[in-house]
Amino acid sequence: MPPRRDPRMPTNEAELQGIIAAAIAQYAASHAETSGNHSQNHGNNNPPNGCTYKQFLDCKPVNLDGTGGVVAFVRWAEKTESVLRMSKCAPEQQVTYISGLFLDGALSWWNFQVQTLGEAASYAMSSNELKELMRRKYCSHAEIQKLETKF
């Protein structure tokens, strides 16, 4: 008895080429949906939607422990802004990556914010919103006036 032909198998070269072209188009469409636009990559090693956490850390960000007052906070904020620019970190990654820099008192403060605001809202805020929240915590009005008078 002759073997049965699989109905999915092409019978000629044209059918085979059509199946291959359809599979390639389907793969390309699904790959574009999951990984974003490859034209944003510009030949660097960053993913199309930003950077990896390792790439962020390779730019040497500074940890924040919540001590040191206004001067320490301002220096930390400036360095962190520089690292965000250098790493080409996507906006939706920034708060997650920045919060990974918190230690000790700053980490406790952040964990309290996450509990108060909720995890989704905390990590959905922009880096500027986070910086403003931190400025209110670490830079009292009196300290800022004292620095402005001094300089």
CA distance readout (Å), 40 to 28, 30, 93: 16, 18, 16
Question: What is the domain extent for residue 72?
Answer: 53-150
- Per-residue pLDDT tens digits for 58-108: 888 989 888 877 888 888 889 999 999 888 888 988 888 988 888 988 898
Identify whether 48 is part of a domain. Answer: no
Identify whether 29 is part of a domain. Answer: no
- 95 contacts 123 by C-beta, under 8 angstroms: yes
Identify whether 16 is part of a domain. Answer: no
Identify whether 30 is part of a domain. Answer: no
Tokens for 72, please give them: 């320490």
Identify whether 19 is part of a domain. Answer: no
CA distance readout (Å), 54 to 51, 90, 122, 126, 144: 8, 14, 22, 21, 34
**Number of domains the chain contains:** 1
The residue among 90, 80, 83, 84 whose CA lies nearest residue 41 is: 90
pTM, entire model: 0.59
Identify whether 64 is part of a domain. Answer: yes
Residue 38 has pLDDT above 50, yes or no: no
Range in 2-6, 44-48, 116-120, 126-130 with the lowest mean pLDDT: 44-48
Identify whether 11 is part of a domain. Answer: no
pLDDT at position 37: 45
Identify whether 41 is part of a domain. Answer: no
Is the model more confident about 52 or about 14? Answer: 52
Is the model more confident about 24 or about 136? Answer: 136
- Per-residue pLDDT tens digits for 40-62: 444 445 455 778 888 888 888 98
